[in-house]
């Protein structure tokens, strides 16, 4: 169902309750929706029309505006917008029909104080009850982030919820403090023996309120936040942010900048996938393979640093294109180095595929079934390993991706080995795309002038870990009124507990590594 067909369907089914209109780009439809039919419209989108749930954006500007974003593989994005006076903060929950919205509603309730009637569990999510007091609502416009909270009344007797109460049952805590560079995450693994019966993941220990920090800043300063809150995928997030700003301004990006954006995005994907493969090898205690993959990641970091001046591609993006041009010869050198790295990566993949002891740790372990991937609207390699072959580079192409020939690798088993195979296959496709981006690289400028005006838009990219959506609203001064980043790790963390359950304790770190999840992407 394309955008035109969707608007016609909405008008015919709900002629008074839903008012659709074209959005700021060729893909997007914006539809004002009555609260009375919200759940029914969402059910129809998700279950009958095969839309995925992208996320929920809450805005508070004289009234509540809740944007429910959906997208489909038929080049279509829908923003259902529900409005209400500020004194009326109760909205119907859509979780019964769209389980993927569960965490999104919990975030909105914790940070804005918006209540979702019918949601089975609200509170104690981003703002932990043992650290924060209820009613803080730090994302409200009235909340002053510069004033210290003088009277914090945390819950002193907090205890984790348990569902296993049989004789001999116990909870194995993992974290939230770890040695090394591991972020703060608290896993609670319930069992009566060696297998995990129930798993709970507690995140947001380092919640940084980046969306609050972006408020009232200029777009250039907000971009610094967007590309730094998750350093390993800085370029993908910065690109989504820039595309949102460019849609608001109606600014075209020069052809050379578009091609170089694609080249750099795939360079980041190749490096990130090498790092994810290294983590999997390390979790399986394959010392030699771990070293080989680690060397590959380091080599790719050096390629990035040599080409751009930063190992994680910071500071390259700007609304309207790139902050600076890259020499064509240097790009071709980086391509040759990437092709050489891919050969070594392929050799490692073939060797791992012949190791029975390695495969024993991954095959039929940490399974996410296709129906689960769809119910949770999973993204990226995790989704594609479970048969959900969604990729925004194909479904909602940007930067000219529609002109590139590439495959979207997918598997059906949904286990750790399927996720690993997708990583290897995607790395090969990234190098293939990089070569096409440089094959006929245009000349000319790499940045167009961007004259921002008051407005809002959503930008997106297929980041290395999956689809990411960045919502941006600016005022007539060009200052940020609302910024919202919906990241692939936030989406995929939601289902991780299902992969960990019904498997042995010793499988847990391996399953975790195959998901390639980021706490930094989540704890914004």
- Strand 198-202: give its sheet, edge to edge: 170-174, 186-191, 198-202
Annotate 263-316 with three-state secondary structure: HHHHHHHHHHHHHHHHHHHHHCCCHHHHHHHHHHHHHHHHHHHHHHCCCCCCCC
Query: Which residues of the chain fall below pLDDT 70?
Result: 150-154, 179
As annotated, the residues of the chain forming the CATH 3.30.460.80 domain(s) are: 3-117
Element (H, E) at 455: strand 455-463
Domain 210-518 part of CATH 3.50.50.60: no
* pLDDT score recorded for residue 162: 81
* pLDDT score recorded for residue 185: 92
* pLDDT score recorded for residue 164: 81
CB distance 36 to 42 below 8 Å: no
Q: Is 137 helix (H, G, I), strand (E, B) or coil?
A: coil
Tell me the CATH number for domain 3-117. Answer: 3.30.460.80
Token pair for 186 = 């608290």
CA triplet 123, 181, 203: central angle to 5 degrees? 10
Can you tell me the distance from the alpha carbon of 350 to that of 270, in angstroms, rounded to the nearest whole number? 18
As annotated, the residues of the chain forming the CATH 1.10.645.10 domain(s) are: 210-518
pLDDT digits (tens, 9 = 90+) for 143-155: 887 777 766 666 7
**Residues with Cβ < 8 Å from 384, sequence gap 6 or more?**
390, 391, 408, 409, 410, 411, 422
Q: Which of 326, 345, 344, 267 is nearest to 300 (CA)?
A: 267
What's the whole-model pTM score?
A: 0.95
pLDDT digits (tens, 9 = 90+) for 7-46: 999 999 999 999 999 998 889 999 999 999 999 999 999 9
* pLDDT score recorded for residue 151: 62
């Amino acid at each position: 169902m394309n955008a035109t067909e969707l608007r016609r369907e909405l008008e015919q089914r709900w002629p008074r309750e839903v008012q659709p209109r074209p959005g700021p780009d060729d893909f997007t439809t914006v539809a004002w929706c009555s609260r009375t039919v919200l759940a029914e419209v969402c059910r129809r989108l998700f279950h009958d029309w095969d839309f995925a749930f992208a996320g929920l954006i809450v805005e508070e500007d004289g009234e509540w505006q809740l944007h429910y974003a959906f997208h489909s593989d038929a080049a279509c994005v829908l923003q259902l917008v529900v409005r209400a006076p500020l004194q009326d903060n109760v909205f119907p929950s859509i979780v019964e029909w769209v389980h993927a919205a569960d965490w999104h509603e919990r975030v909105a309730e914790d940070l804005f104080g918006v209540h979702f009637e019918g949601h089975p569990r609200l509170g104690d999510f981003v703002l932990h009850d043992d650290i924060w007091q209820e009613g803080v609502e730090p994302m409200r416009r009235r909340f002053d982030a510069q004033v210290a909270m003088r009277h914090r009344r945390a819950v002193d007797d907090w205890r984790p919820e348990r569902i296993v109460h049989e004789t001999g049952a116990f909870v194995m805590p993992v974290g939230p403090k770890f040695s090394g560079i591991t972020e703060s995450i608290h896993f609670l693994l319930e069992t009566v023996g060696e297998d995990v019966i129930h798993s709970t993941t507690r995140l947001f220990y380092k919640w940084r309120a980046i969306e609050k920090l972006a408020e009232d800043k200029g777009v250039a300063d907000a971009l610094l936040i967007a590309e730094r809150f998750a350093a390993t995928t800085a370029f993908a997030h910065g690109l989504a942010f820039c595309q949102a700003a460019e849609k608001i301004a109606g600014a075209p990006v020069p052809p050379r900048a578009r091609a170089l954006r694609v080249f750099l995005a795939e360079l980041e994907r190749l490096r990130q996938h090498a790092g994810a493969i290294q983590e999997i090898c390390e979790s399986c205690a394959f010392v030699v393979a771990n070293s080989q993959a680690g060397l590959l990641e380091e080599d790719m970091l050096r390629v990035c640093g040599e080409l751009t001046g930063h190992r994680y591609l910071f500071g390259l993006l700007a609304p309207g294109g790139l902050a600076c041009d890259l020499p064509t010869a240097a790009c071709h050198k980086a391509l040759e180095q990437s092709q050489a790295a891919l050969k070594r990566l392929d050799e490692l993949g073939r060797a791992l595929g012949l190791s029975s002891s390695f495969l024993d740790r991954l095959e039929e372990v940490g399974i996410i079934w296709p129906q689960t991937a769809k119910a949770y609207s999973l993204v990226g390699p995790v989704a594609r390993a479970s048969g959900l072959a969604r990729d925004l580079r194909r479904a909602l192409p940007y930067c000219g991706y529609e002109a590139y020939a590439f495959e979207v690798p997918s598997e059906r088993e949904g286990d750790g080995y399927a996720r690993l195979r997708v990583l290897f296959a995607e790395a090969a496709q990234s190098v293939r795309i990089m070569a096409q981006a440089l094959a006929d690289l245009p000349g000319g400028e790499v940045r167009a002038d961007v004259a921002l005006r008051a407005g809002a838009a959503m930008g997106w990219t297929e980041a290395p870990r999956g689809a990411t959506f960045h919502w941006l609203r600016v005022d007539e001064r060009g200052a940020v009124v609302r910024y919202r980043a919906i990241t692939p790790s936030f989406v995929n963390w939601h289902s991780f507990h299902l992969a960990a359950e019904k498997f042995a304790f010793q499988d847990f770190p391996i399953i975790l590594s195959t998901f390639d999840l980021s706490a930094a992407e989540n704890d914004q």
